[in-house]
Structure 1
């Protein structure tokens, strides 16, 4: 099934029906207070649409992981959702117990109920196939109280957990607007009719990025792959470039030297991989300078101006640009320019742009160019899995649901 054929809110009748809505309210937390509400705001259009269509909406989400500081109740999320939605959100500090079930049964059309952190349940922290998750207590206890299931949590699409893949097998299911937007944008990545496609890949998740590059090359998806950051350093070493003792020590400490054979194999296979021409470096005295990639003496901290100019020229003819990960150590203002310029050039290229990662989102806001963005992905791990060619369990479950319920 093509991604764009998955059911959406346009395909379901929710009038006077109870809808279980899986969202991703997982937010940065400090001292049990939310530091950012962007993920909560992202789901408001889906919730509003369901309410306007006459549904009673029960929202389910997770927050943090067991044992971590951000593993808290969703009560603060309920307060924030009430504020941004403009109506009172009922909250119950229960997920599938008697009180939660009672409150769900009593919910009327136009009302919203937020259940507590679904990861408080041990079942939710286990990955298993949809057929197995459909038999969990969570799904068996709650599914019979609902008419429809809607998944709007793309950021969890790579998880095969009960609240993500279990309900679609027992309820008619569809994508919410956040999920739909992600799927439509990412469908362009593997659409052979839309080209040239350029990928600008950097950041610190080098092993994941190498897997992505392998998949892009295998499926002949990318016309050009422009590398930055540590990813670029690995490919330069694979080309035989001497990056100096300091930078090799960094690669060794991060366990990245083992990736060099894979990088060499990709280069020898003729993969369309570009590496930086120059870098911004810093020496032991703290002096910043621009150095050619083939004669680096300082510690690499950002791509240089020649690289930015060359990459910018390559992006001019692109129809799709996917950018993931910063080009340098953005936490230091001295090494932010490379990322900023590459983002600006991508947005000015006229291509449909897809950005992944909080660093790039922050840069887009700094530049004040939000109106030129094609799509900013909400899914970190899900985006990585998608680009790496892996099947997303959430989308597979929705496909299975369509076959079971929508084909009848």
Structure 2
């Protein structure tokens, strides 16, 4: 299955979840303050809450929610207690936190849960099995999957952001019970389908951020399948392509590419250009020199590049306004610094004023979106990394598991 062949996947309308005991995998993995343990950005929790509330109202399931938070050993690895508090706040329902996953306490709480009620299990990655990646058939044999599947009627995956993972809660459980995608997952798939199946053009991709290797794979896949009319590059990706063109980007920026291990990618970027990829690179950059911010044209760069320049902002904005399909991944500059946010904001303003269907691929870029300017034609994905892999042509394990489950239990 390639990304161009998204399988038919069951939704909550295809399985009977009314009044049933339902395990729903969500993704409320959020930034955590390492000093206080406080949640710094609860956007994901708000989004999931909207869909959780609707599911409880429409179907009255006995709903058990589960997510991971961080990785063992990291500063953001913590319990789900505060997540449950926010889910309760935003749904207006009592989402009870259970400090257990597959132990006696959790199983008792699950068995006693009544239709229309909901609870949140503890951080799934407290279980070592959930940290290991393996094929669905192997994950279905884990203690975690077996024990949970014994107390549920239906599995719902509403965590598209984890679709690139092959862990028990994502690919093991669907092989043990009737399964479907949740409403948020379905919305994500619909947005991706619209982007890839649309015959409309121009189709413009705006690519930036720190994951340069992954973005090169995305570009190669877009070329292979003739999916992009223009690819507007920003950030380190833009600097890599400028270097591949033989443009002098300054010793400081070349040193940064070297320190990040990106210089060996220059020949690959050059080959992409020689094959005729519709790559656009900045004509000017916003740089920092000894604490001062300057706008500098390509070819005469001194200082560290931290945003696209004024003229590039205008050129990119004009192209975006004429687009019919837009996909954005990554900010245009170092948005942690207020002085280098303008490029990202100007590009987003062009998106708001265009008539294009736009898919914004989560991550740091999502934090810059003005929600008051969003319309039905702009989809902000919760799945940055999953969507990035999807764009690069990789199979997403979660989709495969749901497809297998549909064949096993629904006869599809």
- Identify the TM-score tier after normalising by the shorter chain: over 0.9
After superposition, residues 147-296 of structure 1 pair within 5 angstroms as: 147-284=153-290, 286-296=291-301
Match of residue 13 from structure 1: 16
Q: Deviations over 1:266-307 (max 9, x none)?
A: 0010111111111122323x3332222122233222111221
Match of residue 31 from structure 2: 28
Q: 1:155 to 1:96 in 2, by over 3 A?
A: same
CA-based RMSD of the aligned residues comes to: 1.7
Using the size of structure 1 for normalisation, the TM-score is: 0.95
Are 2:398 and 1:388 equivalent residues in the alignment?
no
1:4/1:184 contact within 8 Å kept: no
Are 2:332 and 1:330 equivalent residues in the alignment?
no
Which whole-Å CA distance do the structure 2 matches of 1:202 and 1:145 have between them?
44
Tell me the SS of whatever aligns to 1:220. Answer: coil
Tell me the SS of whatever aligns to 2:197. Answer: coil
Which whole-Å CA distance do the structure 2 matches of 1:223 and 1:315 have between them?
11
Q: Which ranges in structure 1 are unaligned for 5 or more consecutive residues?
A: none
2:87/2:95 contact within 8 Å kept: yes
Tell me the SS of whatever aligns to 1:84. Answer: helix
What is the CA distance between 1:407 and its match in structure 2? Answer: 1.6
1:133 equivalent among 132, 135, 139: 139
Which whole-Å CA distance do the structure 2 matches of 1:375 and 1:182 have between them?
8
Match of residue 102 from structure 1: 108
Tell me the SS of whatever aligns to 1:33. Answer: coil
Tell me the SS of whatever aligns to 2:18. Answer: coil
After superposition, residues 300-315 of structure 1 pair within 5 angstroms as: 300-315=305-320
Which whole-Å CA distance do the structure 2 matches of 1:300 and 1:89 have between them?
46
Are 2:409 and 1:405 equivalent residues in the alignment?
yes
Tell me the SS of whatever aligns to 2:380. Answer: strand
What is the CA distance between 1:140 and its match in structure 2? Answer: 0.8
Using the size of structure 2 for normalisation, the TM-score is: 0.94
1:58/1:112 contact within 8 Å kept: yes
Which whole-Å CA distance do the structure 2 matches of 1:299 and 1:15 have between them?
57
Which whole-Å CA distance do the structure 2 matches of 1:32 and 1:282 have between them?
33
Are 2:306 and 1:321 equivalent residues in the alignment?
no
Q: 1:61 to 1:288 in 2, by over 3 A?
A: closer
2:63 equivalent among 45, 57, 61: 57
What is the CA distance between 1:178 and its match in structure 2? Answer: 1.1
**Runs of 4+ off more than 6 Å:** none
Tell me the SS of whatever aligns to 2:307. Answer: strand
What is the CA distance between 1:318 and its match in structure 2? Answer: 1.5
Q: Report the more deviating stretch, 211-220 or 146-155.
A: 211-220
1:343/1:360 contact within 8 Å kept: no
Q: Which ranges in structure 2 are unaligned for 5 or more consecutive residues?
A: none
Match of residue 346 from structure 1: 351
Are 2:6 and 1:3 equivalent residues in the alignment?
yes
Which whole-Å CA distance do the structure 2 matches of 1:375 and 1:403 have between them?
30
